[in-house]
Amino acid sequence: MKLQTHLIATSLLFMGLYPHYRHMALLVFVGGFFIDMDHYFYYIMKTKDLNLKKAYHFCENKTYSDVFCIFHHFEFIAILFLIGFFSSYVMLVSIGASVHFAMDIIHIAVSRRISREISDMSWIARLVKKIKS
Ligand SMILES: [Zn+2]
């Protein structure tokens, strides 16, 4: 999904949470927008290049099965939520991350065959797949 779409959705989420959380609501941007930094980390790992623009194009049409973006997994979101029960700061990050991840899943469901990628959205399923192969 495009960064701009995540930025708009996260901004709307921020505006919804701002009356209650004030400046703390900015934390939804960590989960809702900056979570996509894992695509950049993946690009750096694969190419040893730091060019952000090239990284954007590199990841643009990749599927979950093509890349390993550490934050884009069910387990990561679940861990964030669990920690969020003890910290409202982390809960705000996890709310942003959940909306981001849900939007990515919906985008995949309407644009590609999600059945091919759903197992690659889980660290455990990826590990089991790797062990079996
Ligand atoms: Zn994403």
CA of 91 to the centre of ligand 1 (A): 18
Distance of CA 84 to the CA centre of its chain: 17
Name the pTM for this structure: 0.90
- What would the pLDDT profile of 92-115 be if each residue is shown by its tens digit? 999 999 999 999 999 999 988 888
Look at residue 98 in the predicted model and tell me its pLDDT: 97
CA of 35 to the centre of ligand 1 (A): 7
CA of 25 to the centre of ligand 1 (A): 20
Say if residues 39 and 59 touch (Cβ distance below 8 Å).
yes
User: Where does the pLDDT of residue 125 fall: very low under 50, low under 70, confident under 90, or very high at 90 and above?
Assistant: very high
CA of 1 to the centre of ligand 1 (A): 6
- What would the pLDDT profile of 71-85 be if each residue is shown by its tens digit? 999 999 999 999 999
Cα separation, 55 vs 67, in Å, equals 12
Short-list 53, 42, 54, 62, CA closest to 107: 62
CA of 95 to the centre of ligand 1 (A): 14
